Structure 1
């Protein structure tokens, strides 16, 4: 029998924590970041990255010989900063502090110096390393790019509620206009240590925990983490962390206006020869309508719309991790999305797993068996 007083019912997981499980937040964090500011990559071919960015729905806000900034239509910083480099690499994420004093407070608490960002961005940053060795920036005072015209909204007829008469619905097949950066998903061999670091230093809070089937007593292996804005709702997750055999970028997600923008934008990408990884569907944790694509450098990127928003009062949900549980509806998760597609990448993943099992980290043999069970469920 479902307890309808449970605040998780109908929102994320119907089940909360058991006694002694992770509370999903730090008691006294150093600061509380306001949002995810941008992501940074290195790529050898900026022209190719810019062409894909335009097809995906970004607008170029800066282009030099050595740097490319891609933005959405919302006011604020660019969503993605790409620097020219010898190989394709994820360099790290930048989080937006709620106040410039928070950058200074975090710098003092960690024994680091706050420094000025380049004139192309403005503001200040403190650059830290999380326990996985990934550079994490916390920034403030950056120059806001002005808002751009958004993608035109459609008028919908819902059931018997007729808002559109004597007019056909004909969304054009064109790039979806990215509005903003939504979240980034990272994999780490030091999951619990890395999770606690983000909660304690940046004041993030967990919306949902996932655990391997049959291994709940060992704790979670994935967490969907949001910004704590008090009574102001925030995205279900700004950062997601997953335990795995390597410390790496998994994917990033960018909000678009609605399902039509997402679907017709996907048709445009497909028409121009780009590879859909998985979609279209609706997630469970976060509820987003999603569509995943591979950029020419192999990075996984997501269009999303209609995601959940939680304020600070909601406690974490707990649920088993399964491949079938990644979506409420849509096609099954693909081998490409799950990282088990035959080819060079899967061979590299096997070598990574064998290497991880020889090292002292959280990804041990039992965790490997749990991960393999996820792919079969």
Structure 2
């Protein structure tokens, strides 16, 4: 384990998009809410979105000529601010308190060796509120004299942002940087394809971030936690009825074991509903795997992480 300050989880991410109105419609249909007014460092047209009930801006959208990753944001203990700034400085990174144009987040900012803006949010991660009365709740499976379908009629939006994966042509180098400098740790790898990274202490999600080997740096997908398979199905139904019909799922992943349903956004990237992810502790042993990315799901050829699914639809 790396000594010193560590990030504690994923706070959010930012995207540049060519059409804020289209982005707002897509993400609100997905289940996110627009949060208040833009911050002082954001363009007047910026949008801040979050899962209902969350206090952090999980997604910041700013105008751009094309869809591309704008920044990544991780939590850290505010008592470790000076220690983190010192570690970043010793790594040769220029640390600043002011966000880049469109950043709109308070904390520490720097660019990684490949030019991606990374934000460190001086807050402890907020707990996820549990929504009662549905799959996963005590007694649900043993219900008697309850019409389950009626309990599932209400909107069941995402509970929180769970993880983001990005493309990189330097898979091993980027993994090493994130582990050495930010204190992330490898949960599992699909050899030569994907590295899944975890953050935090105690019992934590299998991963909050990941790297996908590709031709260039960029956004691959973001994933939001929901309550279970019915929430996934209802979300997929809602997106389909709204005209977002290009999807992949449902299924269950191999590494991390989570249920999934991906929906393609208006610019060719993906957003995922997920549920029932593995939890790990400090006793978890990372392994390198050569397996299919899911144990059941839709037919796909030649394989899940290939260009046929993602098409690397982001400017280089």
TM-score in terms of structure 2 length: 0.83
Higher helix share: 1
Equivalent-residue separation in structure 1 for 2:154 and 2:266 (angstroms):
19
Contact 1:97 1:139 in 2 (8 A): yes
The equivalent residue for 1:105 is 86
Alignment root-mean-square deviation, CA: 3.4
Aligned-partner Cα distance in 2 for 1:156–1:193: 39
* Larger-gyration structure (1/2): 1
| Alignment CA distance shift 1:115-1:169 (3 Å) | same
In structure 2, stretches of 5+ residues that fail to align are 39-43
| Residue in structure 2 matched with residue 132 of structure 1 by the alignment | 114
Q: 1:48 to 1:248 in 2, by over 3 A?
A: same
2:294 counterpart of 1:327: yes
Cα distance in 1 for residues equivalent to 2:186 and 2:127: 32
Distance 1:291 1:221, change over 3 A: closer
Matched, 1:55 2:37: no
Larger CA deviation: 33-42 vs 291-300: 291-300
What's the CA shift for 1:163?
2.2
> How far apart are residue 263 of structure 1 and its match?
0.5
Deviation at 1:174, TM superposition (A): 6.4
Give, in whole Å, the separation in 1 of the partners of 2:137 and 2:36: 40
Q: Give the distance between the partners of 2:160 and 2:140, measured in 1 at CA.
A: 33
Query: What secondary structure sits across from 1:53 in the alignment?
Result: helix
Cα separation, 1, equivalents of 2:239 and 2:17: 20
Partner of 2:8: 34
User: Which of 226, 238, 243 is equivalent to 2:213?
Assistant: 243
1:292 pairs with one of 251, 262, 271? 262
| 2:72 is the alignment partner of 1:81 | no
The Cα of 1:30 is off from its aligned counterpart by: 4.8
Alpha-carbon shift at residue 48 of structure 1 (Å): 1.3
- The whole-number CA distance in structure 2 between the counterparts of 1:160 and 1:35 is 30
Q: Does 1:163 align with 2:130?
A: no
Query: How many pairs align?
Result: 305
- Cα–Cα, structure 1 residues 121 and 93, in superposed 2: closer, same or farther, change >3 Å? same
Contact 2:134 2:140 in 1 (8 A): no
Secondary structure of 2:267's partner? coil
